Amino acid sequence: MSEISRQADLATDLATDPALAVAARKPASRFALLWRSRWLGVAFIAGLLVLWEVVAASGVMPAMSFPRMSAILATWWDLVISGELPGELLPSLWRMFAGYAIGVVLGIVLGLLMGYVRFFYNLLEPITEVLRPIPSPAYLPIVILFLGIDDEMKIFMIAFASLFPVLLNTYSGVRSVDPVQLQTARTFGASRRQVWAWVIFPAVLPQVFTMLRINFFAAWMAVLAAEMVGLKNGVGMIVILGREMFNPNLIMLGICIIGVTGYAVDALLLFVQRKIFWWKAAE
């Protein structure tokens, strides 16, 4: 039987037998699923880490500036076993979430008021535009004078860094609500409270929640910067100690912990977003 005849018979069998067709497509489907999933990115990171280990072991780069990945992982394991790593990571997360919650709540409340009530817009818009362009580290010396270098200073810096992006995004969301929807709600006798609850807030919430994910990284960077000033505990202190001890393993480990923690929290926020806004396509 010629090759053409075999191909024709195979095509006939696939067309008449659905089970055989599914079995034939299964390997390709699995490969396509892997190709479209995040496991591809995980495999890429693993490949980079292996390349890092090979280059560092070859001696091409100096060990003080390019430590081996196996040595960094050994340092990580030692800190986990001793309990030092949780003792440094948990305070950072607590400060970050405390300051972030304060900044987010204030930003949402002020953004809603500025977007819906003209009086609050006229009152707060000038000071918002004056303070917003100033980077939060510029306030650090003044904040230290008033709050010291303890947790109060760090939480304030995180809240301040989180405030303005959420405020402006909330204000923009309120202003983008269709006036026809507001007028329709009022025409049907909705009270101001009902307009807020059933028209404005549902329209603003998806946009605000997306901003919360984006703005999280600003809060995370703020807590690390604050911890590097007040040397007490936290993930930022790991990097500072590594620098002072001339320990590149500790420096690289601190940087890796910062990145992995940020990714994990962003994945958690994305999971919550998908559960709340299930009718929307997740980003």
The CA-atom distances, in angstroms, between 253 and each of 58, 79, 91 are 21, 10, 17
63 lies in some domain:
no
39 and 148 share one domain: no
Q: Could you tell me the CATH number of the domain that includes residue 207?
A: 1.10.3720.10
Name the domain boundary from 20, 36, 58. Answer: 58
281 lies in some domain:
no
Give CA–CA dist 49/66, Å, rounded: 12
41 and 150 share one domain: no
Tens digit of pLDDT at every position of the chain (283 positions): 455 555 455 455 444 555 544 444 555 556 566 666 667 777 888 888 889 888 888 877 777 778 888 888 888 888 888 888 888 888 888 888 888 889 989 998 998 888 888 898 899 888 888 888 887 777 778 888 888 877 788 888 888 888 888 888 888 888 877 777 777 777 777 777 777 777 777 777 777 777 787 778 778 877 777 777 765 677 777 787 777 788 888 888 888 888 888 888 888 888 887 777 665 544 4
Name the domain boundary from 58, 80, 97. Answer: 58
Number of domains the chain is built from:
2
142 lies in some domain:
yes
79 and 53 share one domain: no
166 and 34 share one domain: no
Give CA–CA dist 162/56, Å, rounded: 39
Domain containing 38 equals 3-58
Rg (the chain; Cα; Å): 27
111 and 181 share one domain: yes
283 lies in some domain:
no
166 lies in some domain:
yes
77 and 217 share one domain: yes
29 and 104 share one domain: no
132 lies in some domain:
yes
Give CA–CA dist 60/53, Å, rounded: 11
Give the pLDDT score at 33: 63
42 and 91 share one domain: no
Rounding to the nearest 10 degrees, give the CA dihedral for residues 271, 276, 279, 280. -60
The CA-atom distances, in angstroms, between 23 and each of 3, 5, 20, 199 are 22, 21, 5, 50
Tokens of 162: 């989180």
134 and 46 share one domain: no
Q: Tell me how many degrees the CA angle 31-37-38 measures, rounded to the nearest 5.
A: 135
117 and 255 share one domain: yes
Give the pLDDT score at 106: 92
126 and 182 share one domain: yes
Give CA–CA dist 179/199, Å, rounded: 10
Its pTM surpasses 0.75: no
Give the pLDDT score at 29: 58
3-state helix/strand/coil string of the chain: CCHHHHHHHHHHHHHHCHHHHHHHHHHHHHHHHHHHCCHHHHHHHHHHHHHHHHHHHHCCCCCCCCCCHHHHHHHHHHHHHHCHHHHHHHHHHHHHHHHHHHHHHHHHHHHHHHHHCHHHHHHHHHHHHHHCCCCHHHHHHHHHHHHCCCHHHHHHHHHHHHHHHHHHHHHHHHHCCCHHHHHHHHHCCCCHHHHHHHHHHHHHHHHHHHHHHHHHHHHHHHHHHHHHHCCCCCHHHHHHHHHHCCCHHHHHHHHHHHHHHHHHHHHHHHHHHHHHCCCCCCC
Give the phi and the psi of residue 264 in degrees, each rounded to 5. Answer: -65, -45
110 and 34 share one domain: no
Give CA–CA dist 243/238, Å, rounded: 9
Give the pLDDT score at 4: 54
64 lies in some domain:
no
Query: In sequence order, which residues have a C-beta less than 8 Å from that of residue 255 and are 6 or more positions away?
Result: 239
156 lies in some domain:
yes
